[in-house]
Amino acid sequence: MEQDEIWDTEAAQRYDTPGSGMFEPAVLEPAVDRLAQLAGDGAALEFAIGTGRVAVPLAARGVPVTGVELSLPMVEQLRTKADEATIPVVIGDMATTVAPGRFSLVYLVYNTISNLLTQAEQVECFRNAARHLAPGGRFVIELWVPELRKLPPGQTATVWQSDPGYIGLDTYDVLRQQVVSHHIRFGETRQARLTRSPHRYIWPAELDLMAQLAGLDLETRHADWTGAEFTAESRSHVSVYRSEPAR
Provide the pLDDT for residue 97.
Answer: 97
Instruction: Quote the Cα angle for 127-139-100, to 5°.
Output: 65
Residue 232, pLDDT above cutoff 80: yes
Percent of the chain clearing pLDDT 90 (strictly above): 74
CA distances from 125 to 47, 83, 92 (A): 9, 26, 12
Band (104; pLDDT cuts 50, 70, 90): very high
**For the segment 207-229, what is each residue's pLDDT rounded down to a tens digit?**
999 999 999 999 999 999 999 99
Band (2; pLDDT cuts 50, 70, 90): low
Provide the pLDDT for residue 242.
Answer: 97
Of residues 144 and 19, the one with the higher pLDDT is: 144
Band (195; pLDDT cuts 50, 70, 90): confident
Highest mean pLDDT among 88-97, 140-149, 184-193: 88-97
**For the segment 13-61, what is each residue's pLDDT rounded down to a tens digit?**
676 677 767 778 888 999 999 999 999 999 999 999 999 999 999 999 9
Q: How far apart are CA 97 and CA 4, in angstroms?
A: 15
Cα-flanking dihedrals φ and ψ of residue 155, to 5°? Answer: -105, 140
Residue 153, pLDDT above cutoff 70: yes
Q: How far apart are CA 181 and CA 171, in angstroms?
A: 7
Q: Which of 41-50, 69-78, 97-106, 212-221 has the lowest mean pLDDT?
A: 69-78
Q: Which of 140-144, 191-195, 206-210 has the lowest mean pLDDT?
A: 191-195
Provide the pLDDT for residue 49.
Answer: 96
Of residues 7 and 35, the one with the higher pLDDT is: 35
Instruction: Quote the Cα angle for 177-94-126, to 5°.
Output: 65
Max CA pair span of the chain: 65
Residues 6+ apart with CB under 8 A from 236: 111, 142, 143, 144, 145, 223, 224
Pick the CATH number of 3-146+202-242 from 3.40.50.2300, 3.40.50.150, 3.30.470.20, 3.40.1190.20: 3.40.50.150
Q: Domain extents for the chain?
A: 3-146+202-242, 148-198
Q: 64-84 as b/e, with b when 16 or more CB fall inside 10 Å?
A: bbbbbbbbebbbebbeebbee
Provide the pLDDT for residue 149.
Answer: 84
Provide the pLDDT for residue 10.
Answer: 74
**Chain CA centroid to CA 125, Å:** 12
Q: Global pTM? A: 0.90
